[in-house]
Homo-oligomer: A and B are copies of this chain.
Amino acid sequence: MKVIMDLCVVPLGVGVSVSKYVVACHEVLDKAGLKTQLHAYGTNIEGEWDEVMAAVKACHTKIHEMGAPRITTTLKMGTRIDRDQSMLDKVESVVRQQAEGT
């Protein structure tokens, strides 16, 4: 089962700046060979369910190892069985309709 995910990992108890933890999390996702796209409030990820979920767990483990005592993560996850769809498809579907509408 393929999943498209939006991942936002928030370490607590480490002050206000969390970008170094986001960087570490991206390293984990890259090592896992997952397709990712960073945005201003999280990271989109595309891949097989088990691989994506293993990477999310590895992010939590890594961030705890870096010293964060507590993490709260917000995820959105989409699966569909009617057709195959990539992150790019989702964005293009909107952009194409926007272009047609003008």
Do A61 and B23 touch (CB < 8 A)?
Answer: no
Interchain nearest-CB distance for A78 vs B (Å): 5
Q: How many copies does the complex hold?
A: 4
Q: Which residue of B lies closest to A40 (CB)?
A: B87
Interchain nearest-CB distance for A67 vs B (Å): 10
Cross-interface CB contact of A53 among B18, B19, B44, B53, cutoff 8 Å = B53
Interchain nearest-CB distance for A19 vs B (Å): 4
Do B53 and A57 touch (CB < 8 A)?
Answer: yes
**From A12, A15, A91, residue with most partner B Cβ within 10 Å:** A12
**Interchain CA distance A37-B91 in the complex, whole Å:** 11
Interface string of A63-76 (1 = CB under 8 A from B): 01000011111111
Chain A positions near chain B (C-beta within 8 angstroms) = 1, 4-6, 8, 10, 12-13, 15-16, 18-20, 22-23, 26-27, 37-42, 44, 46, 49-50, 53, 57, 60-61, 64, 69-82, 87-88, 90-91, 93-95, 97-98, 101
